[in-house]
Amino acid sequence: MVGVSRPKPQQTRTMSAVVSGAVDLSALKARADSAGKQQERGATRTGGGSQWIVDVTEQSFQAEVVQRSVQVPVVVDLWATWCGPCKQLSPVLERLAEAGGGTWVLAKVDIDANPGIAQLFGVQSIPAVVAIAGGQPVDAFAGALPEPQVREWITGMLNVLRDQMPGIKAAEQAAAGAGAGQPQSEDAQPDDPRFTAAEAAVQAGDYVAAQAAYQQIVDNEPGNEQAKAALAQVRFLARVESVDTSAVVRADAAPDDVGAQLAAADAEVADQQVERAFERLVDAVRRLTGDDRDRARAHLVELFELFPPDDPRIAAARRALARALF
């Protein structure tokens, strides 16, 4: 058992009450990796084959929740068959996910079949709903809220995240474009099919195609910062898929193996140990020479591109890198 109590109807909790303590969403990655890559992608679509509603297991959590949340928010619905209020809330979330048209994804988790996910969030009662963006929880509520309140919650979340997550705007533009014959306002911007194709490849898990699409945009428009940032994200996601849970152990045992250091740094960033990853690569730059030193430096700079330029961790790591180089 995971300490999940049978909830009282209409019970509402804040984010701090639903998610107790620091939440490390990468905690399930080890289980997913050990189950193999086929299982990791093995989520089951629900809602009559809807692409915006997915049943998630502990094995598919990394791919279907953490990685998908890079492009659009993923709303995790924690439920159980014995939970009456869950039977009220889940259909509401499914209807809203369909109406959202890809601006967000609904990930349904049966906590009895997947107790590790409930433990991960420190859930005390169900139904519990947690919104994930960029691999981290950003908001939550508990209880079978009425549909207007749930709709308002989702709208507020999208409004906050819209400028940070290109997938939201892309889905909204695609939905707007589907309205036949709708005249555009003078300020409306047409959807860029290059980005639409690249984002669709990311959501499908085809990182090779996504990289090629973003790279073509960058080649044609070297100043396109949106494409550059997206390309860095996709490259990272592709690398992380091939990194296993022993990468850090192997790197610690072989400090002069530059390949091991790069893989370990990727694993640490994926596990939200960003400062540790930066320190590892700065130490490698300080210790190694020649091509190995250049590889460590270039990899560190590439990891910088995953974060906003004003992130204080970036500034600190850049100063440390400068000291290591000079």
The catalytic residue positions are 83, 86
CA–CA separation, 193 and 195 (whole Å) = 5
Separation of CA 233 from chain center: 10
Closest by CA position to 214, among listed 230, 202, 225, 200:
230
CA–CA separation, 174 and 190 (whole Å) = 10
Residue 66 is classified by DSSP as I
Buried-exposed string 117-152: b where 16+ CB fall within 10 A, e elsewhere:
bbebbbbbbbbbbbbbbebebbbbbbbbbeeeebbe
Per the structure block, which two tokens stand in for 224? 């396109």
DSSP state letters, 237-276: HHHHHT--TTHHHHHHH-TT-HHHHHHHHHHHHHTT-HHH
CA–CA separation, 204 and 117 (whole Å) = 23
CA–CA separation, 57 and 46 (whole Å) = 13
CB 73 within 8 A of CB 132: yes
Which H/E stretch holds residue 199? helix 193-203
Burial class (CB in 10 A: 0-12, 13-18, 19+), 202: buried
Which H/E stretch holds residue 215? helix 207-220
